[in-house]
Amino acid sequence: MSKVICFGEALIDFLNTDKQVCDRLNLNGFRQYPGGAPANAAVAVAKLGGDAWFAGQVGEDMFGDFLAEALQAYGVNTRYLSRHPVAKTALAFVELDEQGDRRFSFYRQDSADLLLDQDQVEEGWFEDATLFHFCSNTLTTLSMASVTRHALDMARSKGCLVSFDVNLRHNLWTGGQVKREVVNALVAEADILKFSSEELAYLADGKVQAYLDGLMAGRCQLLLVTDGGGSIHYRSKNHLGDYQPPKVKVADTTAGGDGFIGGLLYVLSRTPQIAALLDAPQRLLGLIQFAACCGALAVTRPGAFPALPELAEVQQMARELALSESQIYFN
């Protein structure tokens, strides 16, 4: 099993858990959870039993302490986690509707995760690694986008496959809208790509089929499009298909996508011949089934790190659903 490097932001999710009336006021209650999409992916891999490493930066403050301790508590290696002496750890306040869907308010102006310097990215990060994973929130500033590109180039020079979970958050970008050209430049460099259906439509700018065909004609080896609880579309160089993920009672969708990609990265990290897996239809379907079970279990609980499943839970769900193809990943 090789190590998986998840690069980007670790932040605090303050999840709205209750509402109380106090005198004339309606007060929201918030509970502190560790989060950040690439940090969630690292924890997802680690909780399944993989060798997960988180690379990023938090503040030298109580929230940074909490995140470092939380990552370590779930078995993520934090040797590549930096601490900024002045800048604060990023925060996100999350409100949930009755269906468990989220609305974010971010406090991330000049936060520690955005001030990582290119010199802090070291070649040693990528020794013995086969997978480098990142998301688009490290592309929201010019300087951090440059650091991300540098890390990607270094990972590729060391033979790593690059995984990109697009994970767009428009309210983190100047003007409140993602810059397509910035994100698409990195999309074109990834071996593994994950979009939601909304993200795909936005980045393709009305030309979805041509966009997908262009990606598959390029570097991309595995492309995934999720649609909440709807069907997952997947494509490799020679195969494509759709899979309906398990139906579950949703408590909080925060970690659903990260649980899915974490399950995918875990399986790939323990697969010596990744190209052969992607070119075998039943094994590819089993990979998607396994990842879908990971994502489905994650949305049944609140928060991110605590919601992500252990391997035995995924195995139990796969058995209950009689997903025979996914069973090869429990050997």
pLDDT, tens digit (0-9, with 9 covering 90-100), for 3-15? 999 999 999 989 8
Which amino acid is it at 288? I
Domain range list for the chain: 3-7+41-57+117-330
- pLDDT, residue 127, reads 87
- For residue range 117-176, list pLDDT tens digits in order: 999 999 999 988 899 999 999 999 999 999 999 999 999 999 999 999 999 999 999 999
- pLDDT, residue 177, reads 95
**What is the C-alpha separation between 37 and 163, in angstroms, rounded?**
13
Query: Greatest CA span in the chain, whole angstroms?
Result: 64
Tell me which of 61-70, 127-136, 320-329 is least confident: 320-329
pTM of this prediction exceeds 0.85: yes
**What is the C-alpha separation between 21 and 264, in angstroms, rounded?**
44
**pLDDT band (50, 70, 90) for residue 98:** low
Average pLDDT over residues 312-319: 93
Q: How are the residues of the chain apportioned to helix, strand and coil, as percentages rounded to the nearest 5? A: 45, 25, 30
For the cut 70, the answer to whether the pLDDT of residue 96 exceeds it is no
For the cut 60, the answer to whether the pLDDT of residue 100 exceeds it is no
- pLDDT, residue 273, reads 87
For the cut 80, the answer to whether the pLDDT of residue 325 exceeds it is no
Closest CA to 246 of 319, 307, 167, 303: 319
Strand order in the sheet with 222-226: 81-84, 51-59, 3-8, 129-135, 161-165, 192-196, 222-226, 232-236, 240-243
- For residue range 223-269, list pLDDT tens digits in order: 999 998 899 999 999 999 999 999 999 988 889 999 999 999 999 99
- pLDDT, residue 97, reads 66
Q: Report percent pLDDT > 70 for the chain.
A: 96
CA distances from 201 to 37, 81, 196, 221, 228 (A): 21, 34, 9, 20, 15
- pLDDT, residue 203, reads 98
Average pLDDT, the chain: 93
- Between β-strands 51-59 and 232-236, what pairing exists: parallel, antiparallel or unpaired? unpaired
Does the structural domain 3-7+41-57+117-330 have CATH classification 3.40.1190.20?
yes
- pLDDT, residue 104, reads 78
Average pLDDT over residues 294-309: 94
Average pLDDT over residues 204-208: 94
The partner residues of 56 in beta bridges, in order of sequence, read 8, 81
